Amino acid sequence: MVEEVSDQEIMDAKARIDAQGIGCEPASACSLAGARKLAMAGVIGPDESVVGILTGNVLKDPDATINYHRNTLPGLRASWPNHLHQAEPSIQEISRILQPDEPVPA
């Protein structure tokens, strides 16, 4: 089975992978984009398992990642953007960013 996916589908899939704390290059996100498309078409059933291989490193195309989340990739929209942070190289700055604005309910 082969499925074609668009750049939009690839970058949206990459953003979903990114949100899980896993970094991959856009080309590797094709496996998730294709699996999602096949699942939505009913080719892959809800009770079936799928293995997707991510071979690329997130540092392979950092501009695509950053520009997606800034919503500045030509011809694409950031459907799953993550908020980007700027920080000085210090533990205090990183800690500040990681602190939630409001306490999380127990």
Q: Where are the domains of the chain?
A: 7-98
Q: Give the C-alpha separation, 38 to 48, whole Å.
A: 12
Q: What is the pLDDT of residue 102?
A: 58
pTM: predicted TM-score of the whole model, two decimal places: 0.76
pLDDT value of residue 103: 57
Q: 37: which 2 tokens?
A: 């498309």
Per-residue pLDDT of the chain (106 residues; tens, 9 = 90+): 889 999 999 999 999 998 888 888 999 999 999 999 999 999 999 999 999 888 878 888 889 999 999 999 999 999 999 888 888 899 988 888 888 665 555 5
